[in-house]
Amino acid sequence: MPYITVKEEVEAGKLKILHHAETFDPLYSHMLITKKKWQLPAAEAFAELVLHSICEAVC
């Protein structure tokens, strides 16, 4: 589960992170963006967030 989804609960002490030795295969997904069409501001913000997160992990 992504940390961002449980961050508040972990910080409040409602959840605890359990570390494990298992490794998991990467999860791949695709996102298509049509630049010729108008997009909702929320969709644009989501796309920027995803691209920024990927760049932090890979770059």
Each residue's pLDDT expressed in tens, for the chain with a length of 59 residues: 778 889 999 999 999 998 888 887 887 888 888 888 888 999 999 988 888 887 776 66
Give the count of domains, the chain.
1
Contact assessment for residue 44 and residue 37, using Cβ atoms and an 8 Å cutoff: no
Q: What is the pLDDT of residue 7?
A: 92
Look up the domain containing 14 and give its range: 3-58
Q: What is the pLDDT of residue 58?
A: 67
Supply the DSSP symbol for 9.
H
Q: What is the pLDDT of residue 9?
A: 96
Helix (H, G, I), strand (E, B) or coil at 13: coil
Q: What is the pLDDT of residue 59?
A: 61
**Can you give the pTM of this predicted structure?**
0.46
Q: What is the pLDDT of residue 16?
A: 93
